[in-house]
A and B are shown apart, each in its own frame.
Chain A
């Protein structure tokens, strides 16, 4: 971190904070030579690296790397293993988005977002009592994309699915020790599970940390998937099982919806921030918003400030509010919307116009956000400059779109192999445990609640059969001078964008290490929250100053899972990879040891 004079006290504060909260120092890869894989909260290695929200899942990926698999192989193994050890956050019944940057130059993103089934219409929704009434019922399920995403990723893999599913099957069959996060989330969602999936519970009670959880039903499903591929999930016996469950329990998805589903392989969206190249997924997820926010922040010299400077917090907060307002108004599923002005939204020229909206000394009024601060990136679609656009006095679109606060669920993992192939992968079931309903050992997502509860003219997220809802996930790969630098992403619902943006600013402007950037206290900038929500590890004077500027500050106890759980990897210039698991979710990093000697 920088050590310019005005920042010394702030830096000292963060150092004390990090020292106090750091429970496990970074471990060298050779520190645990017990088998072919080393696992620790923070880890360094030159043999490849996996960082995930659960150390068991990170280990699963590292085992694949140790056996000679590439980053995509490992990512598939981690995806499946996370569905076992974090069944509340993601799984076969969920969805997501991944970005892969391969050493041979391929840059690929795979959209495996879920899709609304054919019976998901506003007419049926009204008949069912509205969005809140269906939230924890099979009706809230959108056709899952994880199996199709894995199937699409297999094109870049080097090992068969039967091998890659091995660690997940083992974890499901043999069981694993429940950790504090699992127990805590299970406790929070107990009521829904008691009602919908009592078979998941431990004799009717939530699982406690230290107990062993097994999921033989999921193990059977994974074995089927490993043997028969994703086709069985969408067209075979697994599809029939889901169809039957839906019909018996009033759900809307049918086998025909499953058979119509496919993952999309897309070209990732690219942007830049102070010379760093960012490779992110495009609509309908949060990648464009990260770029749009950083484009605005480029107009301010954050590098002369520090992480706890109230002006830096204010600028970031205001920029993130502006881009979340635009995201809500303009970003949606490109397959089912005719007009998504994503190009304009991420243009540097539009960012200049948006930067002018920020008052340096005063917080914007939340009451004015939706009607007065939503912008119109449309005129910038063609590459126009801000002077021309603003002189032409293009009318700003101010359609009001009610805020939806996405769930804090979701999981993100990052993988880099020894050849430099990199994968950033975020997957989710929306709310923790999704609908709370289980089929064949996996939980059904409740992504449908991410659509508008009522149709709003012009909204890109009106409910429509086949449409994919918009979410905030933003897996990404960052390069510097063409070289891999960071792989990152985070869960956290409406906090995903802010957490990822703050990590990038911490890394690039405040020159923190990756571990410092992740550990540093976080705050939200999102239009669902009229208050500035922040972890209570900022100095008191920072909070006082922000309140003086007009921000209504709401503090959360540091560290809080509410602010996400990033799992990230840094590639050093010396070829050393540093993996950092989330401190807010008890994540971990794993790496192969002496690759080639442990087959």
Chain B
């Protein structure tokens, strides 16, 4: 029996080292605004062999010792409705999560991947709140068409990293996660 368990543990170790996969637990993600965009970022991360935990309604006490919090911002009335919350409750949730992440020494990456199509009154409200929470900011082309992200990034003293598409977020994501010791 012990032999079998040892073999299993060895196999797991071999798999992890050979694939270069990141241990689950390094990255936690949540949407700010309850749009489905965070799922897309999860797929990009998967291609980078980063297994991130995605929690739509992540709470401050739901952090589990991760190194990085990724906040994918985009407002969805449908998503908020399905989650049973309004915009004020969503902002409060994220403020609490961001504060807890900061207290835990985590890095926070804010992402907007929907381009111009994912901008509007509701999303802009969340963007204003989200950007100051970030240690890093990735914005897909079109999302900063009016300079909103540029202004907020300057005010918050963080670097805005542009990407030409959702797929194009892979390179800056990889770079930031390397810098933050995840990859």
Binary interface encoding of chain A residues 165-205 relative to chain B, with 1 for a CB under 8 A from any of its CBs, else 0 = 00000000000000010011001101100100000001111
Residues on the B chain within 8 Å of A180, using CB? 116-117
Residues on the B chain within 8 Å of A188, using CB? 117
Contact B165 A190 (CB under 8 A): no
**Does B6 interact with chain A (Cβ within 8 Å)?**
no
Residues on the A chain within 8 Å of B36, using CB? 190-191
Expressed in whole angstroms, the minimum distance between the Cβ of A556 and any Cβ of chain B is: 9
Binary interface encoding of chain A residues 280-298 relative to chain B, with 1 for a CB under 8 A from any of its CBs, else 0 = 0000000000000000000
Contact B40 A190 (CB under 8 A): yes
Contact B120 A187 (CB under 8 A): no
Residues on the B chain within 8 Å of A388, using CB? none
Contact A205 B121 (CB under 8 A): no
**Does A211 interact with chain B (Cβ within 8 Å)?**
yes
Contact A184 B117 (CB under 8 A): yes
Query: Whole-angstrom distance between the alpha carbons of A203 and B39 in the complex?
Result: 15
Residues on the A chain within 8 Å of B44, using CB? 205
Contact B166 A205 (CB under 8 A): yes
Contact A205 B43 (CB under 8 A): yes
Residue of A187, A191, A194, A203 touching B117 (CB-CB under 8 A): A187
Size of the B side of the interface (Cβ < 8 Å), in residues, is 21
Residue of B43, B120, B166 touching A208 (CB-CB under 8 A): B166
Expressed in whole angstroms, the minimum distance between the Cβ of B149 and any Cβ of chain A is: 18
Query: Whole-angstrom distance between the alpha carbons of A184 and B43 in the complex?
Result: 18
Expressed in whole angstroms, the minimum distance between the Cβ of A100 and any Cβ of chain B is: 35
Which residue of A has the minimal Cβ distance to B46? A204
Residues on the A chain within 8 Å of B118, using CB? 187
**Does A408 interact with chain B (Cβ within 8 Å)?**
no
Expressed in whole angstroms, the minimum distance between the Cβ of B173 and any Cβ of chain A is: 13
Contact B120 A557 (CB under 8 A): yes
Which residue of A has the minimal Cβ distance to B165? A208
Given contacts A184-B117, A187-B114, A187-B118, contact A206 B39 (CB under 8 A): no
Size of the A side of the interface (Cβ < 8 Å), in residues, is 17
**Does B115 interact with chain A (Cβ within 8 Å)?**
yes
Query: Whole-angstrom distance between the alpha carbons of A190 and B35 in the complex?
Result: 11
Which residue of B has the minimal Cβ distance to A206? B166
Residue of A187, A194, A209 touching B43 (CB-CB under 8 A): A194
**Does B128 interact with chain A (Cβ within 8 Å)?**
no
Contact B114 A205 (CB under 8 A): no
Query: Whole-angstrom distance between the alpha carbons of A180 and B145 in the complex?
Result: 14
Residues on the B chain within 8 Å of A204, using CB? 43, 47
Query: Whole-angstrom distance between the alpha carbons of A539 and B166 in the complex?
Result: 37
Expressed in whole angstroms, the minimum distance between the Cβ of A178 and any Cβ of chain B is: 10
Residues on the B chain within 8 Å of A183, using CB? 115, 117
Query: Whole-angstrom distance between the alpha carbons of A565 and B115 in the complex?
Result: 21
Within 8 A of A (CB), among B92-145: 114-118, 120-121, 141-142
Contact B167 A203 (CB under 8 A): yes
Residues on the A chain within 8 Å of B116, using CB? 180
Residue of A184, A191, A205, A557 touching B165 (CB-CB under 8 A): A205
**Does B55 interact with chain A (Cβ within 8 Å)?**
no
Which residue of B has the minimal Cβ distance to A188? B117
Given contacts A190-B36, A191-B36, contact A205 B117 (CB under 8 A): no
Query: Whole-angstrom distance between the alpha carbons of A208 and B168 in the complex?
Result: 10
Residues on the B chain within 8 Å of A205, using CB? 40, 43-44, 165-167
Expressed in whole angstroms, the minimum distance between the Cβ of B116 and any Cβ of chain A is: 7
Residues on the B chain within 8 Å of A206, using CB? 40, 166
Q: A183-B115, A194-B39, A202-B167 are in contact. List 18 more A-B contacts (CB 8 A).
A: A180-B116, A180-B117, A184-B115, A187-B37, A187-B114, A187-B115, A187-B117, A188-B117, A191-B36, A194-B43, A204-B47, A205-B40, A205-B44, A205-B166, A208-B115, A208-B141, A208-B165, A209-B142
Q: List 24 A-B contacts (CB under 8 A).
A: A183-B117, A184-B115, A184-B117, A187-B37, A187-B114, A187-B115, A187-B117, A187-B166, A188-B117, A191-B39, A194-B39, A202-B167, A204-B47, A205-B44, A205-B165, A205-B167, A206-B166, A208-B115, A208-B141, A208-B164, A208-B166, A209-B142, A211-B165, A557-B120
Chain A residues within 8 Å of B, Cβ to Cβ: 180, 183-184, 187-188, 190-191, 194, 202-206, 208-209, 211, 557
Q: Which 5 A-B pairs have the closest CB atoms?
A: A184-B117, A208-B165, A205-B167, A205-B166, A191-B36
